[in-house]
Amino acid sequence: TQQQAITIAHQPGMTRDRHPINVFANVSSINHTQQAVNYGAEGVGLLRTEFLYLNRTTAPTEEQQLEVYQAIGQILEHRPLIIRTLDIGGDKSIPYLGVGLESNPFLGWRGIRFCLDRPLVLKTQLRAILRASFRHQIKIMFPMIATVAEIQAAKAILTEVQGELRQAGIPFDEAMQIGIMVEVPSAVTIANQLAREVDFFSIGTNDLSQYVMAADRTNPKVANLADALHPAVLCMIQQTVEAAHAAGIWVGLCGEIAADPLAAPILLGLGLDEVSLNPQAIPAFKGAIAQLTMPQAQAIVTAALQQDSATKVREIVNYEL
Ligand code: PEP
Ligand code: MG
């Protein structure tokens, strides 16, 4: 019933056999965060910070960013907030930052690649995030990591900023967790090495699918190929989860696929510790996993991984539910 659905939405994500999974929200504004809490989000698994940089002529200052991160932290109260550093490029253009036109923007100067080349932009953002971490439960996440050198370079800049804040007597959370998005195929294949560098992974299936299938997610002629339920992608999610757990770190997923009701048993069965999805999709996701046991979800995954198309994966899930 409607009442049961509302009750489940505001309880922690849990299977019928009491296996917990954190159900977080993807958000990109202050209002959106309030909506996420209303829909039963247990935290924010992906704050897309690009919105702070859009519709302006200069980058937002440290104080401007701090204000927004604090406002979002206040709405979330005790709930965790994972802030992703600027992921400009690809389909997101911000003219004053000077990325310019590229012939292959999704293979170009985006995310962490841009930020490592423009350390002042990154440092301003890191200072604001660290300062907000003093009063709010914040974790930081770097996008588009493809190599160990990139995460090491990002961490070196973070360490530098932490040193500056300490020197100035500005407080921040010394134990703040650091994570990366796993959304480039190379990150999956070297996940064991990357796991030694961070506290958590969050799998970005929007980009991972387009890169695994070599299909631009914004090109309608081929976008349907970039389906996160294709066994080729599921296999990479499985590999990432195994590498994370073998290294003793937690692993979530924040691609749009999590909002597909047919994906719920698969994401659960793959062993993810957290999923982050569109706020409106949270009640249905929690409702779906509340009907399932972990062994049922694992059996669905085993069957799904043996299929040769996303269509057949959907049929399997439909049949089993
Ligand atoms: C992703 O790539 O799956 C993701 C969550 O990030 P974005 O859609 O912002 O690139
Ligand atoms: Mg992405």
Q: How does pLDDT run across 132-170, given as a tens digit for each residue? A: 999 999 999 999 999 999 999 999 999 999 999 999 999
Predicted ipTM? 0.99
CA contacts within 13 A on the Cβ side of 39:
26
Note whether 150 and 112 are within 8 A (CB). yes
With residues binned 3-state (H G I as helix, E B as strand, rest as coil), the percentages for the chain, rounded to 5, are 55, 15, 35
Q: What is the pTM of this model?
A: 0.97
Q: How does pLDDT run across 249-261, given as a tens digit for each residue? A: 999 999 999 999 9
Helix H or strand E encompassing 27: strand 22-27
d(CA 254, CA 38): 19
Is the CB–ligand 1 distance for residue 124 below 6 Å? no
pLDDT tops 80 at residue 230 = yes
Residues in Cβ contact with 247 at an 8 Å cutoff, skipping those fewer than 6 apart: 192, 195, 196
Q: What was the pLDDT predicted at 5?
A: 76
DSSP assigned state of 45: E
pLDDT tops 90 at residue 320 = no
Is the CB–ligand 1 distance for residue 89 below 6 Å? no
Note whether 116 and 127 are within 8 A (CB). no
d(CA 246, CA 248): 6
Atom of ligand 1 nearest to the CA of 90: 10
Residues in Cβ contact with 219 at an 8 Å cutoff, skipping those fewer than 6 apart: none
Helix H or strand E encompassing 83: strand 81-84
Is the CB–ligand 1 distance for residue 183 below 6 Å? yes
Q: How does pLDDT run across 284-314, given as a tens digit for each residue? A: 999 999 999 999 999 999 999 999 999 999 9
Residue nearest (by alpha carbon) to ligand 1 atom 1: 204
**Six token digits for residue 68:** 């927004």
196 by Cβ neighbours in 10 Å (0-12 / 13-18 / 19+) ranks as exposed
Is the CB–ligand 1 distance for residue 209 below 6 Å? no
Alpha carbon of residue 39 to chain centroid: 18
pLDDT tops 80 at residue 205 = yes
Is the CB–ligand 1 distance for residue 48 below 6 Å? yes
Higher pLDDT, 174 or 319: 174
pLDDT tops 90 at residue 61 = yes
pLDDT tops 90 at residue 229 = yes
pLDDT tops 80 at residue 1 = no
- What's the gap in Å between 314 CA and the centre of ligand 1? 22
d(CA 108, CA 96): 17
